[in-house]
Structures are given as structure tokens and as C-alpha cells.
Amino acid sequence: MLRRLGALLVTAALLSCGGSDTVVIATVGDYHPFDFINDEGEIDGLERELGDELCRRAGLECEWILHEWDTLIPELRAEQFDVIIAGMSITTERDELIDFAGPYYPPRPSMYLARAGAGEEAMEGTIGVTANTIFSDYLTEQGIAFTPLDGGVDAASTVLSGDVDAVLVDHGYGVAKLAEHAGRLEAVGPSLRLDQGLGIGVRTGSELLDAFNDALDSMKADGSLNALIRRWLGAHAATFE
């Protein structure tokens, strides 16, 4: 009860600040099905629906903008916007720079995707990973050669096109693409625990941290977050108990 009262007071304080009553959420718009641009030219996906519902529950006016992945954290810290919801994994290194609400997708091992039937031999070929991510960092640390993929490129499509033999991706994206391309993709190689789930980034000390955490807690409690995850990512997605 005290936490709920605190969140209500935070919301009231935010909404009473003249000229700063709109919470600006940044996303990348190229990480289907988490965030993408639909046929109407609008930001769509699991994260758009999640963010809108969290803002509604927290009583916040929210506005979405598109932003480059590489500068999300520096620009958040520079107060260019207020929140990151962009498929960002919670890691110890990032947690030293910003605060995270959540996770809104549970921590699960990352996976390699390859063309169906390729088997473990795919791991001996060309590995692709999106540049400047926890995946490229991991492979660099392990001394494993890889082909960097641009942020706007769908990793699964590079496997299906034959540009690379396998890609290392997070669990939520992986299970979504296995469902989307059933019979064309398979998981291969070792699974790797690289993060603490996907989180909502806010500036260190921001009053928005409690507001978003309480809204997430309410979605977990009533089952709506699990329903949202399954609807966007499929029956094999990880959910909260």
C-alpha cells in the first residue's frame, strides 16, 4: 500500500510540473515484433502496446519518438528524452549508467538461430550479430569471429537469405522468429545467459522508476503482461509466474 501511495504521489508531482507533463519514450522502430513501423507509418509492436498501457495505469501523458540504438543511453542521460523501451537487456554495465524498471520480459538464455536442418555445423560457419549489443560484446570477449549486422537489419532474415549461417539473439526475439518462420529456422548451439531480462530505462534517480515498476507489477498481477507477451511472441515465449 505504501508503494502504491508513493507511485500516486510521484504521478501527481510529474503531472503538476508545468511544461514537463509529457513523458517522452524513445524506441528504435526496427526490432520486430518488439517495436517496428507498421503500414500506417506508426510505431507498433509489443513494446508500443506495453508502454501505452503502462502510461495509462500510471496516469502519465506519453509521447513516442524514434532514436538510433547506439546513442540511446547517452541521450537519455543528457535529458533528450525520458524513457527507453527498445528491447534493451538489463546488464550490470548498463545498470551503472541508468536505472531499469522491470524486467518486462523474464531473463532467459539467448540463442543461436540457423536455417532448419543446418544443425550444429552452422556454428562452424559465419556468425552474425547486431553491432553494439550484448551479443557482439560477448563474441568479442570470447574471441569468436562474427559479421556485424546493422541495427536496422532483421537478424533472422540474414540467416534465411544465406548471408550468415547463424545469428545470436535474445530469447524473446528468437522464439518469435521460430514461430514466424516455422519449419525454416531452428535453434542451434549453446544457450547463453547474458542478461537479466528486458527492461525500461530511465535516468538514475528518476521519479519515473517507481511509476513504471508499479504499473508493471499491476500487469503481472492481473495476467495482462503474460497475455501480451504470448500474443506478440507466441506460445513458447517466457512469461512471469
Q: What is the CATH number of domain 110-192?
A: 3.40.190.10
Predicted pLDDT at 151: 81
> Which parts of the chain register pLDDT below 70?
1-20
169-179 pLDDT, tens digit each: 999 999 999 99
Record the pTM.
0.89
110 beta partners: 192
Where along the chain do the CATH 3.40.190.10 domains lie? 2-107+196-233, 110-192
Predicted pLDDT at 9: 34
Domain 2-107+196-233: top CATH class? alpha beta
Predicted pLDDT at 21: 81
Question: Which amino acid, 39?
Answer: D
223-238 pLDDT, tens digit each: 999 999 999 999 999 9
Nine-digit cell string for 100? 531499469
Predicted pLDDT at 5: 33
Predicted pLDDT at 42: 98
Predicted pLDDT at 15: 39
Q: Tell me how far apart the alpha carbons of residues 173 and 46 are, in angstroms, rounded to a whole number.
A: 11
